[in-house]
Amino acid sequence: MKKWLEIALKEIGVKEIRGGENARIIEYHASTTLKAREDEIPWCSSFVNWVMTQAGYKGTNSAAAKSWLSWGKEIPKPEKGCICVIKKKSAGSDAATGSASGYHVGFFVSEDANYVYLIGGNQSDQVKISGFNLRAYDICGYRMPEEVIKGE
């Protein structure tokens, strides 16, 4: 299993604190240039940046999910653990991800005919594996680091 996926899986259950701030989410934010101090600020890209940094890779340093579309190398088909960027098909903010832009980023887990399953941050305000209905979301790209450490 890819080292970064192991790290991401260990974070399952980290969630926003109503009326307070989760220090772990603030730590995720610190891995981006935004360096947000509130856990309510959309944090999917912050989570992916933090995970990749913990695994020894350079992230995008951006809190924008869309930034991952120009990171690393594009792969034509998903591999478990690759970075996956999706975009909500309809306009407006997305309650499932907190995204105002419609973009979301996470780590690919699996897919079926109707859903893509990602482990990500800010999925219903927490780190978890979620299914995203392909009738409501477009897959914008799958990305891998330029150089994957041997054995990952």
3-class DSSP state of 10: helix
Tell me the pLDDT tens digit for each residue of 65-119.
999 999 999 999 999 999 999 999 987 778 778 788 899 999 999 999 999 999 9
3-class DSSP state of 88: strand
Q: Which structure tokens are listed for 47?
A: 């989570």
Q: Which structure tokens are listed for 15?
A: 């969630």
Residue type, 19: G
Tell me the pLDDT tens digit for each residue of 3-30.
999 999 999 999 999 999 999 999 999 9
